[in-house]
Amino acid sequence: MCEYKEIDRVDCTSDSLIKVIGLYQDLGYQVEVKIINKPLSTFIKGVKNYTVHVFKCAAES
């Protein structure tokens, strides 16, 4: 078992979601995706926004 610690958080749109997840998974990180309910002003209206939470194994238990 592994104790995971959040090391990064990335806000992105559905267009770049797969790229972001793939990048971190290729580096060996654990990834969790959450949908952002409120639109961020920097994103295009109508585009789904996501937060990608990136975790790294902090300690083996």
* Sign of the alpha-carbon dihedral angle for 29, 35, 38, 42: positive
Tell me which residue range forms the domain holding 28.
2-60
**Residue 41, pLDDT score:** 56
For 3-55, the pLDDT digits (tens) are: 889 999 998 888 899 999 999 999 999 999 887 665 555 555 666 778 899 99
**Residue 15, pLDDT score:** 83
Bridge partners of 12, per DSSP, are 50
User: Given a cut of 70, is residue 61 above it in pLDDT?
Assistant: no
Nearest to 57 by CA among 5, 1, 21: 5
Number of domains observed in the structure of the chain: 1
Nearest to 7 by CA among 59, 40, 54: 54
